[in-house]
Amino acid sequence: MKNQKKYRVVKTCKAPKALGPYSQAVIAGGFIFCSGQIGIKGYIAEQTKQAIENLENILIGGDSGLDHIVKTEVYLKDMNDFEKMNEVYSKYLLNPARVTVEVSKLPKDALVEISCIALLKKN
């Protein structure tokens, strides 16, 4: 018996390629699960904006959008950046459930990484 995938991989050239053996996002059960996105230029505000724009492009590629996000996970290199990150975050996202944690290091020495779960537009 063959092992069949129960999900569909999302790939878009409008966001950075995955840095390892994972997908930009997968669709399963009416949801799109986006891998963490980073920004690498500028300080926390610019990196937060880029991470969210990367997520938006991935979501659009998977037939969803920022307004369909139900949960985010935010990883900050320095919790002192919390307020500045929130200023940018609140311009794009409409109060999904969220967890925010400080981590010791992020890929490419980024200051922030954001992942999300969103509903598909068809649901």
| SS3 state at 78 | coil
Region 3-30 average pLDDT: 90
Query: How would you classify the pairing of strands 69-76 and 97-102?
Result: parallel
For the chain, report the end-to-end CA distance as a whole number of angstroms: 31
Mean pLDDT of 96-109: 97
Model pTM? 0.94
pLDDT for position 1: 46
Q: How far is CA 78 from CA 16, 64, 91, 116, 121, in A?
A: 23, 30, 21, 20, 34
pLDDT band at 19 (very low <50, low <70, confident <90, very high): confident
Which residue segments constitute the domains of the chain, with CATH numbers given? 23-119 (3.30.1330.40)
Mean pLDDT of 36-59: 97
